[in-house]
Amino acid sequence: MNPPSPSISSDAVLRVRSQSLRSKNLIAAATDKISLAIGEPDFDTPQVVIDAQIQAIKSGYTHYSPQEGRGELVNAILQAAVGVAGNGFSSENILVTHGGSAGLTATILGLINPGDVVLLEDPTYSLYLDGINLAGGSVKRFARNEAGELDFNAIDNDAKGAKLIVLCHPSNPTGAIISPAEWASFADIVKRHGLVILCDEAYEGLTYDNAFVSALDVPGLREHLIVSRTFSKKYAMTGWRLGYLVGESQLIASASTAHRTFNGSINSANQFAGATALLKAGDDAEKMRRVFQTRRDLMESCLREIPNIQFRRSDGAFYFWLRYPDHLGTSLDVAAKAAQAGVMVRRGEEFGSTGKHALRLSYATDERSIKEGVARLARLLA
Ligand SMILES: Cc1ncc(COP(=O)(O)O)c(C=O)c1O
């Protein structure tokens, strides 16, 4: 008998591959294609941030930085992002990460053992599922009803024996934010069952109807909380690969151990850029937020013209989540047909099974593309 041939991929990688919901953008066949599939701001990084990085390189900051992050950035996070007065955070509560992605995956790998249960919303950003599969954890999903409400009795039931709840606030893909009353219910559940909340605040600051309330400001949650943020969205810095975690110190220490195994320390000069973004690019970020708000309003009014679809107003991030009648086919089919018709969108199934007949539309693009893209989609969904 031949000895079994060793697999070229680990079980962890095979688990991620077989269960991942992530998909590449479909390539549109039409020449005049419009993308409403974009997951990043279409703005340039603010000049003051670029200048800070160039200056840092010229000043010789070209060496390794401390694993947990340079003091300049950690202090800026403590000052600007979590507020310094009376919140009790110190550098032990911060980890600078290789973008939001690495912070999220490091948190999951630092916390989850094979077999541990993690609660995830459906739909939600697909990276969490990949991280959970990498760790060997299992998932229970919860969903909002048609009115956008969460069933906290069901969540409470599923939370028994679970270890972690991952929340995306504001949400990719729905644009929903978690309300103060919902936060109170989550805080009650995690305290009673001894769970941890990982709150992904990648779109922190990008809210349009209500001021952004961070999970960090929810009373009673602090001991159970780790928050992941990134410079990618608010400061239009997707290519810089810079983010950070803020949270309970033991959770940060575990995430740090996982993070350093696959990232090492973070680009030194970029950390000066990050500190400058937090301390000096607030006005630039606010200008971008206002443009997103105008585009959100425009996309909403265009979508209201389409009969038979269901959607809720996007409160944050830069996405609308729309459901269309089941008979039109799966989101894979509809997204493929949309690509043929010259408009690219993300298929809903990428974010969970509730997205089988749903699409995610991004308004991180210009007004002409929003109008024409939605018009093309309207013809398809009619
Ligand atoms: C909800 C959410 N979290 C995290 C990320 C990853 O951000 P980063 O570019 O910092 O890795 C994204 C990117 O699309 C996102 O949508």
Ligand 1 center to residue 266 CA distance, Å?
Answer: 17
Chain region(s) in the chain for CATH 3.90.1150.10: 11-44+283-381
Among 40, 172, 263, which is best to mutate for testing ligand 1, by the most ligand atoms less than 8 A from CB? 172
Beta pairing class for 243-247 and 94-97: antiparallel
Ligand 1 center to residue 101 CA distance, Å?
Answer: 6
**CA–CA gap between residue 170 and residue 178 (Å, rounded):** 7
Residue 170: cis peptide before it, omega within 30 degrees of 0: yes
Output the residue whose Cα is nearest ligand 1's atom 16.
Answer: 172
Q: Which residues of the chain have pLDDT under 70?
A: 1-6, 23-31, 83-86
Q: Which of 226, 159, 230 is nearest to 199 (CA)?
A: 226
pLDDT of residue 273: 98
Ligand 1 center to residue 370 CA distance, Å?
Answer: 22
Output the residue whose Cα is nearest ligand 1's atom 13.
Answer: 39
Strand, coil or helix: 244:
strand
**CA–CA gap between residue 217 and residue 246 (Å, rounded):** 12
The model's pTM: 0.95
pLDDT of residue 20: 87
48-280, what's its fold?
Answer: Aspartate Aminotransferase; domain 2 (3.40.640)
Has domain 11-44+283-381 been given CATH number 3.90.1150.10? yes
Alpha-carbon distances, residue 224 vs 215, 314, 316 (angstroms): 11, 28, 24
100 lines ligand 1 (CB under 6 A): yes
pLDDT of residue 3: 62
232 lines ligand 1 (CB under 6 A): yes
pLDDT of residue 128: 98
Chain region(s) in the chain for CATH 3.40.640.10: 48-280
Please give the full DSSP string across 8-64, using - where no structure is assigned.
SS-HHHHHHHHH----PPPPPSSSS-EE----S-SSPPPHHHHHHHHHHHHTT--S-
